[in-house]
A and B are shown apart, each in its own frame.
Chain A
Amino acid sequence: MAGPPMPRLSMQGDRVLIGALGACALLSGGVLVLILGFLLLETGPLLASGHVAGALFGAEWHPADHTFGLRAMIAGSLAVSGLALSWAAPAGVVVAVWGRLYAPAVLGRLYRGVIDILAGIPSVVYGFWGLLAIVPAINRVRPPGTSLLAGGLVLGLMILPLCALSTDAGLARVPQSYLRAAAALGLSRFGTLTRILLPQAWPAIVAGCVLQLGRALGETMAVVMVCGNVVEVPDSLFAPVRTLTANIALEMAYASGWHQRALFMSGLVLLMVTMVLFGLTQGLRKRPHED
Chain B
Amino acid sequence: MRIEGARDRWAAALFGGASLMIMALPLLMLVEVVGAGLPRLSSEFLYAPPMDAGRAGGIGPMIVSTLAILAVCLFAALPVGLGCALYLAECVTAGGRAARALGYSLDVLGGVPSIVFGLFGYRLFAIELGLGFSILSGGLTLACMVLPLLIRVSEEALRATPPSYRQAAAALGLSQGGFLRRVLVPAAAPGIAAALILSIGRALAESAALLFTAGYVTRLPDSVFDSGRALAVHIYDLSMNVAGGEASAAATAVVLVGLLVLINICARRLGQTVHRMQRA
In the complex, whether A106 has a CB less than 8 A from a CB of chain B is no
- Per-residue A-contact encoding for B176-188, CB less than 8 Å = 1, 0 else: 1101100000000
User: Which residues of chain B are near A41, meaning CB under 8 Å?
Assistant: 123
- B105 touching A116 by the CB < 8 A rule? no
In the complex, whether A21 has a CB less than 8 A from a CB of chain B is yes
In the complex, whether B36 has a CB less than 8 A from a CB of chain A is yes
| Distance of B38 from chain A, by nearest CB (Å) | 14
Checking B4, B7, B19 against A103 with a beta-carbon cut-off of 8 angstroms, the contacting residue is B19
In the complex, whether A53 has a CB less than 8 A from a CB of chain B is no
A61 to B247, CA, bound (A): 36
Q: A98-B18, A127-B236 are in contact. Are A32 and B26 (CB under 8 A)?
A: no
Checking B179, B201, B211 against A252 with a beta-carbon cut-off of 8 angstroms, the contacting residue is B211
User: Which residues of chain A are near B114, meaning CB under 8 Å?
Assistant: 218, 220
Checking B80, B171, B261 against A28 with a beta-carbon cut-off of 8 angstroms, the contacting residue is B80
- Per-residue B-contact encoding for A54-84, CB less than 8 Å = 1, 0 else: 0000000000000000000000000000000
Of the stretches A167-175, A199-207, A231-239, A264-272, the one at the interface is A264-272
In the complex, whether A131 has a CB less than 8 A from a CB of chain B is yes
Q: A95-B19, A125-B257 are in contact. Are A31 and B26 (CB under 8 A)?
A: no
- B106 touching A29 by the CB < 8 A rule? yes
Of the stretches B40-48, B52-60, B202-210, B217-225, the one at the interface is B202-210
Main SS of chain B's interface residues?
helix
In the complex, whether B96 has a CB less than 8 A from a CB of chain A is no
Contacts of A1-60 to chain B: CB distance below 8 A = 1, 3, 6-14, 17-18, 20-25, 27-29, 31-35, 38-39, 41-42
| Distance of A178 from chain B, by nearest CB (Å) | 15
- B27 touching A114 by the CB < 8 A rule? yes
- A274 touching B112 by the CB < 8 A rule? yes
Chain A, interface size: which category?
35 or more
In the complex, whether B193 has a CB less than 8 A from a CB of chain A is no
User: Which residues of chain B are near A160, meaning CB under 8 Å?
Assistant: 22, 26
Instruction: Count B-side interface residues using an 8 Å CB cutoff.
Output: 97
A275 to B250, CA, bound (A): 35
User: Which residues of chain A are near B118, meaning CB under 8 Å?
Assistant: 248-249, 252
User: Which residues of chain A are near B260, meaning CB under 8 Å?
Assistant: 117, 120-122
Question: What number of A-B contacts does a CB cutoff of 8 Å give?
Answer: 283
User: Which residues of chain A are near B83, meaning CB under 8 Å?
Assistant: 20-21, 23-25
- B119 touching A252 by the CB < 8 A rule? yes
- B207 touching A278 by the CB < 8 A rule? no
- A103 touching B16 by the CB < 8 A rule? yes
In the complex, whether B277 has a CB less than 8 A from a CB of chain A is no
In the complex, whether B64 has a CB less than 8 A from a CB of chain A is no
In the complex, whether A149 has a CB less than 8 A from a CB of chain B is no
- Per-residue B-contact encoding for A116-160, CB less than 8 Å = 1, 0 else: 111011111111110111000000000000000000000001001
Checking B15, B124, B240 against A94 with a beta-carbon cut-off of 8 angstroms, the contacting residue is B15
User: Which residues of chain A are near B15, meaning CB under 8 Å?
Assistant: 94, 97-98, 101-102
- B102 touching A28 by the CB < 8 A rule? yes
Checking B91, B123, B163, B257 against A121 with a beta-carbon cut-off of 8 angstroms, the contacting residue is B257
- B163 touching A6 by the CB < 8 A rule? yes
| Distance of B177 from chain A, by nearest CB (Å) | 4
A125 to B16, CA, bound (A): 27
A7 to B108, CA, bound (A): 33
- B33 touching A39 by the CB < 8 A rule? no
A277 to B180, CA, bound (A): 37
| Distance of A120 from chain B, by nearest CB (Å) | 5
User: Which residues of chain B are near A31, meaning CB under 8 Å?
Assistant: 105, 109, 144, 147
In the complex, whether A91 has a CB less than 8 A from a CB of chain B is yes
A135 to B188, CA, bound (A): 47
Q: A28-B147, A132-B246 are in contact. Are A274 and B113 (CB under 8 A)?
A: yes
- A32 touching B236 by the CB < 8 A rule? no
In the complex, whether B131 has a CB less than 8 A from a CB of chain A is no
User: Which residues of chain A are near B232, meaning CB under 8 Å?
Assistant: 122, 124, 221
Q: Which B residues have a C-beta under 8 Å from some C-beta of A?
A: 1-5, 7-8, 11-12, 15-16, 18-19, 22-23, 25-27, 29, 32-33, 36, 79-84, 86-88, 90-91, 94, 101-102, 105-109, 111-120, 122-124, 128, 144, 147, 151, 163, 166-167, 169-171, 173-177, 179-180, 201-202, 204-208, 211-212, 232-233, 235-236, 239-240, 246, 249-250, 253, 256-257, 260-261, 263-264, 268
Q: List 29 A-B contacts (CB under 8 A).
A: A7-B167, A9-B174, A10-B174, A11-B175, A11-B176, A14-B176, A23-B83, A24-B83, A25-B84, A28-B147, A29-B84, A31-B147, A33-B105, A94-B22, A95-B18, A116-B268, A117-B264, A120-B205, A120-B263, A122-B206, A123-B207, A125-B256, A129-B33, A157-B25, A187-B3, A211-B111, A245-B208, A248-B118, A278-B108
The 5 closest A-B pairs by CB, nearest first: A218-B113, A24-B83, A7-B170, A14-B177, A122-B205
Q: Which A residues have a C-beta under 8 Å from some C-beta of B?
A: 1, 3, 6-14, 17-18, 20-25, 27-29, 31-35, 38-39, 41-42, 91, 94-95, 97-99, 101-103, 111, 113-114, 116-118, 120-129, 131-133, 157, 160-161, 183, 186-190, 193, 211, 214-215, 217-221, 224-225, 245, 248-249, 252-253, 263-264, 267, 270-271, 274-275, 277-278
